[in-house]
Amino acid sequence: MTKGPMLMVPGPTPVDPSILEAMGRAPLHFTSREFVRILLETRDGLRAVMQTEGDVIILAGSGTMGLESAIANVLGSGDRALVVSHGKWGERLVTVCRCYGVDVTLLSAEPGEVVPLGSIESALKNGRYKAVLVTHVETSTGVRAPVREIGLLAREHGCLYLVDGVSSTGAEVEPMDEWGIDVLMAASQKALGCPPGLTMLGISPRAVRVRKERASISNHYGDWLEMLRVLQNPTVETHVTHPVNAICALHQGVRLLLEDGLDRRIADHRRRATAMRDGLRAMGFQPLAREEIAANTVTVGLYPPGVEDRAFRAALERNGVLVASTGGSLAGKGVRLGHMGYITDLDIVSCLSVFERVLEGMGQGDILGKGVAAAEKALVR
């Protein structure tokens, strides 16, 4: 859809031209009536995407800024939190919690696996926690966490429930209110298909009450009460300068998503994810996550024997495809492929075609056509 290398990474993702056009418009003043209309329409659209009647705020910053804001508003020094981690971004939740003095208990899984629900239930029974935190889609492993089931356990034990939806919102089933999510953190550059630069938080009434009960927090920029005050009268009140052009782009991205329909977007992401994994298997790769816990937005594929990581990725890049490397204990063992936002069926097939040619050139045997054929079967199901 755009010039330059094909971005098959876990973010940022390809961007629809109409979104880029919206971002490139002349800046508006952040208290002007035109911008306030755009801001409030974007907020209301995000409510529909997140499926919440609660508040939604938009901040300039990456997804990590959203995590900081969420944690700083409801947790503080001495509070206890249970973090369910399936990889790097679960560990990021631990890091941010500890920055604010939170006493963290960590439950982690082996790469490609999920923490058993029984282990989570046992931890909640044996400890008094104020909050449970989990990343819905872990881009370091391609795992989708059982967010609904964890939420039931959190609610049963009276805990706040914070979900990192940075790589899931807009592409995975994630009804915030129905699943009892108190804070849902998202970002613009993933499944919403917009440029990087914004983080969005859906906030339940319970989470707002918890913030109001705290005299002060250690994060002025991301203070919900400041942002909610502004949203009560946005043509007059200010807290920080709104990222005007980025919000114009997000406004268009959310509009396109809702025109397509959230259910259709989720189904398209699921279909393309299946096609990508089927294509990889046909070429000898092994998806790290089992199909029943595999994400709609990213796949980690472990290499067939004999494929050297840097040489393979460099060859892909020479052929116009950018993928991400695996890290940690998986470093050099595979690739991380993003298939979210404005990735199309053609992008999936084209990417796998390049994989085939590169593997063939590296002496991996009779590869040509296998990945593409498997993917196309999945795409037309």
The three-point CA angle 297-15-190 to 5° equals 30
Q: Which portions of the chain are predicted below pLDDT 70?
A: 1-3
Cβ atoms of 229 and 93 within 8 Å: the answer is: no
In this predicted model, what pLDDT tens digit does every residue of 68-80 receive, in sequence order? Answer: 999 999 999 999 9
What's the rounded Cα separation, in Å, for the pair 144 and 289? 9
- Structural domains of the chain, ranges and CATH numbers in brackets: 6-10+262-379 (3.90.1150.10), 17-260 (3.40.640.10)
Bridge partner list, 321: 6
E strand map for 49-138? 55-60, 80-85, 103-108, 131-135, 137-138
At 196, list the tokens. Answer: 């990087």
Of 145, 42, 111, nearest to 333 (Cα)? Answer: 111
pLDDT tens for each residue of 4-32: 799 999 999 999 999 999 999 999 999 99
Are 159 and 129 in contact, with CB atoms under 8 Å apart? yes
pLDDT computed for residue 3 by the predictor: 65
Q: What's the pLDDT score for residue 4?
A: 79
What pLDDT does residue 143 have? 98
